Amino acid sequence: MSRCVGAGWLRAFQIPIRVLQADLMFVWFASVYGAVAVLAAALMGKKSILIIAGVDVADEPQLGYGLWRSWWKSKVVALALRQADQVLAVDESLRSEVMQRARYAGGNIEVVPTGYDAGFWKPDAHKERLVLTVAVVSGRPRFLVKGIDLLFSAARALPREQFVLIGVDEQLAAQLGKPTNVRIIPFAHSTELRSWYQRAKVFCLPSRREGLSNSLCEAMLCGCTPVATRVGGNGAAIENTGYVISPDRQHKLPTAIEAALNHVPDVNTAARERISTLFPQSRRHERLHQIVDTLLNVPSV
């Protein structure tokens, strides 16, 4: 198995060479590069699996976000979605979006949620009264998609509470009005991230769109009480273990955060149990092996 990671036209021209050397292409995200890999595989008679995680079906003109806003990119990606042997969506909400965007019946789509290692993402005994948000944000469109403006508004409404925001550019946050009770950490490795999940009593994800959020599920495994908007897979992940707000009622976010901070006990074992039951890493691995073996005609043992 080999990996092909990168960007730029040179990388795009190298992809068909990698396809020629492979039996199967496993493509994460339906980007233009991913589409090149899938279409090259189809032309060469190779098998392909295309993962849909959320951003790849986004079309949000009011936010300036999503590759489907580009007429030529949308045509290329739509063709790749129809040509892929298997399209795997991480959440049910994405299946209908794929069918709508690519305008086809979606017979090659299956929902295979992301899996999480409950042995690594685990709670500590003590929680602090702080609100944590994790989101990779480097520009204004992502700032709005992840609802960081809504988080800032909630922080201003709760001036005595402490907020920690990981993954956001500090200069961008300052330009867009970061409140004084919000601490910015531009980047954190997985072990440091786990430490923050373990410390925080509340995890807040006020996104305007999502697939199945890795940070939300990791935080819940670490015993955080979740507060999130009902977009993508957020509602199904949380259900009755936290607080889910309708996108049209985002003014309720401060109230939900305050309720979550007052949640008893500090470590939300119900949230952890829900994610470990719904999305175990082993289940995803098993299904992926089955799909790959079927596509490559590997005899079952």
Domain around 221: 128-278
Long-range contacts at 99-106 (CB < 8 A, ≥ 24 apart): 101/57, 101/59, 101/68, 101/74, 102/77, 102/78, 103/78
Query: 103: domain CATH number?
Result: 3.40.50.2000
17 and 60 share one domain:
yes
pLDDT in tens, 196-251: 999 999 999 999 999 999 999 999 999 999 999 999 999 999 999 999 999 888 89
pTM of the model: 0.94
Q: Is residue 2 part of a domain?
A: no
Q: Is residue 123 part of a domain?
A: no
Extract the tokens encoding 267.
């470590």
Q: Is residue 105 part of a domain?
A: yes
Q: Is residue 23 part of a domain?
A: yes
CB atoms within 10 A of CB 101: 22
Peptide bond into 159 cis (omega under 30): no
pLDDT in tens, 26-69: 999 899 999 999 999 999 999 999 999 888 898 988 888 888 99
Return the SS3 of 213.
Answer: coil
103 and 176 share one domain:
no
Between CA 4 and CA 119 the distance in angstroms is: 29
101 and 176 share one domain:
no
Q: Is residue 81 part of a domain?
A: yes
Between CA 107 and CA 235 the distance in angstroms is: 26
> What is the tally of helices (H) and strands (E) in the chain?
13, 10
Between CA 54 and CA 209 the distance in angstroms is: 8
